[in-house]
Structure 1
Amino acid sequence: MSLDLPALREAVAAHGRVVRILVVTVAGSVPRDAGTSMLVWDGGEDGTIGGGELENQAVREARAMLAGEPGPFLRTVPLGPALGQCCGGAVTLAWERFDAASLPDALPHARPLAGTSGAGPLVELRPGARPVVRDGWLIEAGPAPGRPLWVWGAGHVGRAIVNVLAPWPGVAVTWVDLGPDRFPSSVPPGVTTLPATEPPALVRYAPGNADHLVLTRSHELDLQLCHALLHHGFASLGLIGSATKMGRFRSRLTALGHTAAQISRIACPIGDPSLGKHPQAIAVGVAAALIRAAGTSGQCQDKDATG
């Protein structure tokens, strides 16, 4: 993950002064990866750098900065010797205080750490690159584009999937249904909603590398979307339903001219059937499959664990 400038600006606009805690580098087994960050303000916070005593002490430092302590500064924390956490690795954290006058104008963003003077180094960072400390300067890139995910249908399962996946920085969600009234009154930040009386007509606008989840309330519309997507191309295509539904779709899609190899790329049912059929259970299974496909993994990931 990298600096989420819109989220930082929103937090500063809402709370005035904000301290950002950033995981700059990691070694060994640690709760979160380099580039992970959280925001702290008077009376609240957002995000997590891994929970446990590491986060507890880091937030305490952040509140001291809000009260006037100088910054920004770096500190390397060995999790076992210093905090008694069993992860056993070490993390280097940065604390920075922001207000309306000190917000970055653009990315990449370089700023001197406490006690540093002189011009900053020239470092080129690709979007999504981990933060770099060079010659006393902290440098961050912008976030990498999220993996495109198109969710077709805003019913119970669609809402559960969007709510589970929207906070994950690895995905950029586009949500389609028949009209504005189909969507909830509050849509998660970063999700693009597309009301359309003819959803299959939007397939042409989807990136060829997008993942798709087809889960409308109409089997006929589901079929039309699968037909259009098989012609268009995709990274993956999941269809809500049962083996019986898939069997019927296979027959009808064959009649529409699709080959057995093409049709076999449709995953139906979606998620992990062993988790059950509750919308949240389906959403958890779908999210796990997408994150696994994106190659995301880690150790000691429980937010509230002591490590």
Structure 2
Amino acid sequence: MAAPRSLSEFLSAQLCVIRVALTRVRGSSPRNEGTEMFVAPGSLWGTIGGGQLEFIAINAARDMLRDGALHRDMDVPLGPEIGQCCGGRVELKLTRMRASDKWAAKERAARREDALPKVYVMGAGHVGRALANLLQYLPVCCILVDTRPEEIELCTANVETRVSAIPEAEIWRAPEGSAFIVLTHDHGLDFLLTTAALERKDAAYVGMIGSATKRVKLRNWAQKHCDGLSVEQLNCPIGASGSRDKRPSVIAAFVVAEVMADLTSETAATALTGANQAPLRAHHHDRKGRSA
């Protein structure tokens, strides 16, 4: 049986499930209040932080599954008592899920999914597919776009794919606060898509693959053909602070780190599997190679 790809699939596949909710945090903790984990007899979904805390919670949940208990509250010190050194203390609420609880959890998950920031990968070549492979595991909605169906078909990641004869239209229709990573097979198309993203002025991130020379060429082209459009907010080269290794998977790793830094706040520690959605922000750093 294939592993579930979403909480909804997980809950639909399990008859008996215990919901483990982190209801209170005092001091240091690996996760924030509102974080959820779902425990079934032979599988689980989500995490409350791993380590001994999670081990204890899973065992308690499976005890409930065996003995038929409906509720249990736990107060767990994150110190030497359980072999952890966080130093804080957490309270957990364990609840056997009814059909209505599962439905409500699916609805919450769907709302969180809809609210995920959108990351448009404009180009399904080697680096584009490597980006999709990484982004599928992060709290974003990745959309891989290309004009070439044969390249889209090579993508095996669990992301949305779109074959578009007019890829700039995907940028025009994107929601506010989206991220755009441009790396097509054609420099002219790169320029067209990048300027379309910059002209929106509401993107959380705009990046274009290429060198500092390519950035200068785009700047000059935009000044001439786009009413002097500024490229100040453009990230190019993308992943410039990383390694000189140019293998697609390595480039993708540094680019994903760069994108996520712009999408998420440094203090946004609550993951989207919890009750609270991490706040998003759009900000821009001065990065190596970014001077216009």
TM-score, scaled to structure 2: 0.77
Question: What is the deviation of 1:85?
Answer: 0.8
Note closer, same or farther for the CA distance 1:63–1:180 as it changes in structure 2 (3 Å cut): farther
Contact 2:117/2:141 (8 A) holds in 1: yes
Q: Which amino acid aligns with 2:14?
A: H
Structure 1 counterpart of 2:7 = 8
Which amino acid is the alignment partner of residue 97 of structure 1?
A: R
**Aligned ranges for residues 277-292 of structure 1 at < 5 Å?**
277-292=246-261
Work out the CA distance in 2 between the residues paired with 1:297 and 1:162: 25
Determine if contact 1:11/1:18 at 8 Å carries over to the other structure.
Answer: no
CA shift, 1:89, in A, is 0.8
Please give the alpha-carbon distance, in whole angstroms, between the structure 1 residues aligned to 2:37 and 2:14: 14
Moved more, 148-157 or 82-91: 148-157
Matched, 1:204 2:172: yes
Secondary structure of 2:79's aligned partner = helix
The superposition leaves residues 120-157 of structure 1 with CA deviations (integer Å, 9 ceiling, x where unpaired) of xxxxxxx89xxxxxxxxxxxx95381223222112222
- Which position in structure 1 is the counterpart of 2:274? none
Distance 2:253 2:62 in 1: 35
Distance 1:161 1:296, change over 3 A: farther
Deviations 1:88-111 (A, max 9, x none): 111222223336x344444799xx
| Shift, 1:279, TM fit | 2.9
Q: Distance in 1 between matches of 2:93 and 2:8?
A: 18
Q: CA deviation at 1:180?
A: 4.3
Q: Distance in 2 between matches of 1:35 and 1:155?
A: 39
Question: Gapped runs of 5+ residues in structure 2?
Answer: 272-292
Aligned pairs, number: 261
The residue aligned with 1:216 is 184
Report whether the alignment pairs 1:154 with 2:124: yes
**What does residue 232 of structure 1 align with?**
200
The amino acid across from 1:163 in the alignment is N
Q: Is the 8 A contact 1:74 1:93 kept in 2?
A: yes
Q: Contact (CA 8 Å) 1:154, 1:175: kept in 2 or not?
A: yes
Identity %: 37
Alignment correspondent of 2:57: 58
Q: Cα 1:10–1:107, aligned 2, differ >3 Å: closer, same or farther? A: closer
Pick aligned residue for 1:270 from 227, 235, 238: 238
User: Aligned partners of 1:9, 1:60: CA distance in 2, in Å?
Assistant: 23
Root mean square deviation, CA, Å: 3.0
* Structure 1 runs not aligned, ≥5 long: 1-5, 110-126, 129-140, 302-307
Distance 1:279 1:292, change over 3 A: same
Shift of 1:222: 0.8
Kindly report structure 1 stretches of 4+ aligned residues shifted beyond 6 Å.
Answer: none
Per the alignment, residue 38 of structure 1 pairs with 37
Greater strand share, structure number? 1
For the residues of structure 1 that align with 2:67 and 2:155, how far apart are their CA atoms?
A: 40
Distance 1:165 1:96 in 2: 32
